[in-house]
Chains A and B, each alone.
Chain A
Amino acid sequence: MATAKKRTIRTIPQERTPMPEQDPQIRAKNFQEVACGYRLEDALREAERCLQCPDEPCVRGCPVSIDIPNFIAKITEKHYNGAYDIITDTNLLPSICGRVCPQENQCEGVCTVGETLEPVAIGRLERFIGDMAIAQGWENVPYIEPSGYRVGIVGAGPASMACAADMAKAGCEVIVYEAFHTPGGVLKYGIPDFRLPNDVIDAEINKVRNLGVKFECNTLVGRLFTIEQMVSEMGFHAVFIGTGAGYPSFMGIPGESLNGVLSANELLTRCNLMRARDFPNFDTPLQPGRHVAVIGAGNTAMDALRVSLRLGAESVHCIYRRSKKEAPARVEEIHHAEQEGIDFNWLTSPVEILGDAKNRVRALRCVKMELGEPDESGRRRPVVVPGSEFEFEADMVVFAIGTNANPILGQTSKLKLNKWGYIAADDSLATSIAGVWAGGDIVTGAATVIQAMGAGRRAARSMKAYLGLRDSDSVYDAGAEGSLFGIPRAEHGFAQVRVG
């Protein structure tokens, strides 16, 4: 540890360094990034707040176990390139994760400083380093010894990219198939530019490309060729499925087929990926709502609310049947939405969408709720307040209440599915077909970007063991249980014979 004198909770800067942000009044009318990122002095000050505690709870709180205290120490030493090296040991996409991870539930949620003061802004520091790397053109392309194995990856979202990077580093020839015309998955179609700019995504995808990963877009796996064909005639030694959940839910209330009712996925895809907001320079249409009601209070709902506002809506309402405390969105996202003037209606549940003579939405009828006994999820179950019906004027109603399992791979392969239709996978993320792994939302249902990336890396680890490739990450983690000189137990006395 290079810190000169021991820091204590009393000697460190007490206040968390604020993130420079666009003014809410201005940003509500543009698609530029809300959080502008730490300047050098901000990052140096915030790095001072890390106690370098021996416990390192933050590392355990991180789904991909970034060596957080060490990269922060490198920032203090002004060795930014070194900080980047440490982060990219385990996370290839720091600019993305620094922006969209729910750090308050992960690394920052367990930070020792956070027990007394506000926790160290780990995510903001990670983003600072990631963005600096993009600006400076730093790239960590390790020496890669070709292994002769071919790995096929289905989908080009966060789970797939994490898996692809790991397999490429292990020397495999990796091809990623994407159904859309551009890679990125939910990062591109879902998360809006003001939260994660497209050029950041492209820069990070290019890093994966520079590891030798090939992306083949316009390829719908399952229909153009099947998973079974990939492991047989197409000659992939291992396949990873990271297609995401992708089949939006609706509530089944009257009026859902009225024009002006859409899923958050449709709204966001039209606006973000297809650039309907730049109509007519781009051809995809989107009838912007003047009075928009978004149902749900997760991160996708926040994105839909704030996109609607930026598309010029006069009023934007968030409708959620539980209270603010139960809302699944990140605290920061709700806070940003509140600042921008989103009207939050907690403990409110829609019962009917009302239409006009032309089948267009004109209003949303809701009821008030109150919290009753806790349900299976431990959250208090909302119950209807009798006689509390009321109406919102609305010409657009957006459902952001989650997704169901996408059926395409289930329809076209013998993959075993669980009772909800997601792909069944064991602890190592192996599926029912030999040589095929799956991870991310298509296994767990909708979760976060970093959880998907964590799953992609977990699958990569077991794919490497299956192929008899040494897991390069374990080398740096010599103390890991069940490993000898970094070679996992599964590989002891086991060598796969490479054919072809």
Chain B
Amino acid sequence: MAQANAGSGFRIVAREDYSDVTYMLEVAHPQMARAAQPGQFVIVMETEHGERIPLTIADFDRERGTITLVIQAVGKTTKEMQANLKAGDELFAMVGPMGIPSHIGKAKKVVCVGGGLGVAPVYPQARAYKESGAYVIGVIGFRNKDLMFWQDKFGAVCDELIVCTDDGSAGIKGLVTEGIKQAAAKHSDIDEVVAIGPPIMMKGCSETTRALGIKTIVSLNPVMVDGTGMCGGCRVKVGEQVKFACVDGPDFDGHKVDFDDLMSRLGRYKQTELEAVERWQESCRIRADKVIDLKASVLDARPAADA
């Protein structure tokens, strides 16, 4: 088997920016592209000194041999990656596919909900349902029109697509829960809802579908270190049980997940993260200043033009 990963890095073959905060990296890993299933994730380290961050696989192309990641620049690492990485660069580490693949069951009619960045990870599931012959209703939501991405790519695997924006700048004005309600009003035979996005959005979706009595699967992305069940950092409350999202998930029954617990635990390194971001931004400023200083000194060193 071809081994692209023997101690060397993982090459980025393409990068695309969807907004000021959202960017896409396509990473070469033929073996992983063959193995990946919808719902799985990877853990990435940008550099040897970096932290391990879990990212859901947004797409995989078995023929190109690539894994696609869509990333939001929110913390120090993701901001640094946004600033530094371009096509041709390498990630220090990328391991996966991790987690239990999504169960693509016999559902005939499914609503796939993506909130903001969540549009990317729910895409492979929408596509898998479409390929399995289900009727797929896509509901995607963004804060405003400028943050939208993948609406065409997503629409291509859906039978219907409902776009929601908070300010009404595109599609219907409102949250994705409005979209779910609209879909449910039109179709009384929805078998399943798959919702991926920020925890508060998944909580909202689960509350909406609980009232409607529709089975709902959510994909959780808590703080992780190893991603192999070893550290227990990603434990979540599901019903009466404690589960490790990395090996027991990441998909869980949305009606059983304790989202308040999840959100509280997601904030546990907030203070250190904020400090790290500030420190990093400060160092960027210093570097930028240096570059300017350097330019200035080059200019100063030029021989005075003859008058």
Interface of A toward B, CB cutoff 8 Å: 179-181, 189, 214-220, 223-225, 234, 244, 246-248, 250, 252, 256-257, 259-260, 262-263, 265-266, 269-270, 274-275, 279-287, 359, 406-408, 411
Known A-B contacts A266-B231, A287-B269; A216 and B6 likewise in contact (beta carbons under 8 Å): yes
CB of A406 within 8 A of CB of B228, answer yes
Q: What is the distance, in angstroms, from A287's C-beta to the closest C-beta of chain B?
A: 6
State whether the Cβ of B130 lies closer than 8 Å to any Cβ in chain A.
no
Q: How many residues of B contact A (CB 8 A)?
A: 53
0/1 per residue, B274-285, Cβ < 8 Å to A?
Answer: 011001000000
Complex partner residue of B267 from A218, A259, A269, A284, CB under 8 angstroms = A259
Chain A residue, CB-CB nearest to B237 = A257
Complex partner residue of B225 from A220, A260, A269, A280, CB under 8 angstroms = A269
Chain A residue, CB-CB nearest to B275 = A280
CB of B233 within 8 A of CB of A275, answer no
Interface of B toward A, CB cutoff 8 Å: 1, 3, 5-7, 10, 31-32, 35, 40, 45, 49-52, 76-77, 92-100, 225-233, 235, 237, 242, 244, 247-248, 261, 264-265, 267-269, 271-273, 275-276, 279
CB of A246 within 8 A of CB of B242, answer no
Chain B residue, CB-CB nearest to A243 = B228
Residues on the B chain within 8 Å of A214, using CB: 6
CB of A265 within 8 A of CB of B235, answer no
Give complex CA distance A223, B96 in Å: 7
CB of A262 within 8 A of CB of B40, answer no
Residues on the A chain within 8 Å of B45, using CB: 181
CB of B100 within 8 A of CB of A411, answer yes
Offer 25 A-B interface pairs, CB within 8 angstroms, sorted by A. A179-B228, A181-B95, A216-B7, A218-B95, A219-B95, A220-B98, A225-B1, A234-B1, A246-B228, A248-B230, A250-B232, A257-B261, A259-B265, A260-B268, A266-B233, A270-B225, A274-B225, A280-B275, A282-B49, A284-B52, A286-B272, A287-B268, A287-B269, A406-B230, A408-B229
CB of B233 within 8 A of CB of A217, answer no
Known A-B contacts A247-B244, A283-B76; A265 and B31 likewise in contact (beta carbons under 8 Å): no
Complex partner residue of B35 from A223, A265, A285, A406, CB under 8 angstroms = A223
CB of B228 within 8 A of CB of A217, answer no
Give complex CA distance A283, B49 in Å: 6
CB of B247 within 8 A of CB of A408, answer yes
Pair count A-B, CB < 8 A: 141
CB of A220 within 8 A of CB of B228, answer yes
CB of A285 within 8 A of CB of B269, answer yes
- 10 closest Cβ pairs, A-B complex: A285-B272, A266-B231, A259-B268, A246-B230, A181-B93, A283-B51, A263-B232, A285-B269, A284-B51, A218-B95
Complex partner residue of B273 from A189, A281, A285, CB under 8 angstroms = A285
Q: What is the distance, in angstroms, from B220's C-beta to the closest C-beta of chain A?
A: 13
Residues on the A chain within 8 Å of B52, using CB: 274, 284
Residues on the A chain within 8 Å of B273, using CB: 285
CB of A269 within 8 A of CB of B264, answer no
CB of B271 within 8 A of CB of A287, answer yes
CB of A265 within 8 A of CB of B6, answer no
Residues on the A chain within 8 Å of B98, using CB: 220, 223
Give complex CA distance A265, B231 in Å: 5
Give complex CA distance A384, B226 in Å: 37
Q: What is the distance, in angstroms, from A220's C-beta to the closest C-beta of chain B?
A: 6
Give complex CA distance A225, B5 in Å: 14
Residues on the B chain within 8 Å of A215, using CB: 7
